[in-house]
Structure 1
């Protein structure tokens, strides 16, 4: 029971809870919670997703809709729903442990560059604990999705309004930047800094500043740079 309660204490008491959990190398329960919550959100989306508009749009762009019978179209929609279900479970079971590993390796690289050696088990624990806010987001998403009669792809991003993107009438560039200011992502970045501090002995203040800067750089690439390039490419192609 202590093994379960101690990591989840991180969400309520991040300063001491993170330090204690990292030193005790508590990573199993946080990772299991992450896998379970992300898988559950994927299943909830698949169960409530109205796949028909997306399937019809895809078939129209491929030019195959006119040759399909109603039963064939219905089968395509059912197959799309099944694929979404499998992809949702795979996201939790496969992608989340891989993401944890990538974060742990990133922490190890930071520790090596800053000459702050630390046992990899502690860095792995810090990475797993830092993803607890993401698990909480997916748990909330699961409950919200199951409460809906149906879901479209456009509704997914705003189903749990956790970023400044909820503000309306923003230009495309500002909207992409606003999406980076996300409560759960910032919470996770803060826990990553606290975990790094607990694992390496770096002061909490320096670690928090370091990971705040790293988050800004990463968010600039993921939320602003790459979508902007994709939009410019699409506009050029049009």
Structure 2
């Protein structure tokens, strides 16, 4: 029971609970919680998603809508819904564990660069514990999605308003930038810094500064790279697929 309660305390008492959970190598239960919450989020989205507008728009872009019968269109819509369900579950079962592993490897590299080596199990624990706010977001998203009669792609970002992008009167570019100031993402960054500090012995203030800078740089690259690709004519032209939960 301790292996489940101790990681959960990280969300409510991060300063004390994070270090204890990292030292005890608590990563299995948090990872299972993450997988379940993200899978539930994707499932809830697929159950409430009205795929008709997105499918019709895609067929219009491809010039196939006029040649389709109602039966074929209905089959296309059902196929899109099934793909959303499978994709949402796959994101939880496969993508999130892989993300946690990659994040732990990145922490190991940082520890090596700053000459503060730590056992990989501790770094894995720090990585998984830092993803617990993301799991909480997906849990909230799943509940909110199931409460809807139907859900469109345009409503997904606003279903759980957690960033400054919800402010009104913003231009698309400003809204995109302010979307990076997200409560759950910043919470994860703070937990990642605390976990890394506990695993390596680095001062908390130094670790927090390190990961805030890393988050700003990562966000800048994430926002700037699509703009650069679009400017070079290399941006994707298809309809964005239905999300598996948002984060």
Is 2:154 aligned against 1:154? Answer: yes
Q: Give CA-to-partner distance per residue, 1:58-81, whole Å, 9 cap, x none.
A: 111111111111011101100100
Is 2:234 aligned against 1:215? Answer: no
Match of 1:180 in 2: 180
- Cα distance change, pair 229–172 in 1 and its aligned pair in 2 (3 A): farther
Q: Distance in 2 between matches of 1:206 and 1:170?
A: 34
Please say which of residues 164-173 and 123-132 is displaced more in the overlay. Answer: 164-173
Q: Distance in 2 between matches of 1:175 and 1:150?
A: 25
Match of 1:38 in 2: 38
Match of 1:163 in 2: 163
TM-score by length of 1: 0.96
Please say which of residues 193-202 and 170-179 is displaced more in the overlay. Answer: 170-179
Match of 2:6 in 1: 6
Q: Pairwise mapping of residues 126-165 of structure 1 onto structure 2 (< 5 A)?
A: 126-165=126-165
**Which is richer in helix?**
1
- 1:236 is displaced (CA, Å) by 10
Match of 1:228 in 2: 227
Q: Pairwise mapping of residues 113-124 of structure 1 onto structure 2 (< 5 A)?
A: 113-124=113-124
Q: Is the 8 A contact 2:190 2:208 kept in 1?
A: yes
- 1:227 is displaced (CA, Å) by 3.6
Q: Distance in 2 between matches of 1:226 and 1:163?
A: 21
SS of aligned partner of 2:179: helix
Unaligned residue ranges in structure 1 (runs of 5+): none
Please say which of residues 165-174 and 121-130 is displaced more in the overlay. Answer: 165-174
Aligned residue pair count: 237
- Cα distance change, pair 179–121 in 1 and its aligned pair in 2 (3 A): same
Q: Pairwise mapping of residues 50-61 of structure 1 onto structure 2 (< 5 A)?
A: 50-61=50-61
Q: Pairwise mapping of residues 70-149 of structure 1 onto structure 2 (< 5 A)?
A: 70-149=70-149
Q: Is the 8 A contact 1:173 1:228 kept in 2?
A: no
- 1:179 is displaced (CA, Å) by 0.4
Q: Distance in 2 between matches of 1:210 and 1:173?
A: 27
Is 2:200 aligned against 1:190? Answer: no
Runs of 4 or more above 3 Å deviation: 230-238
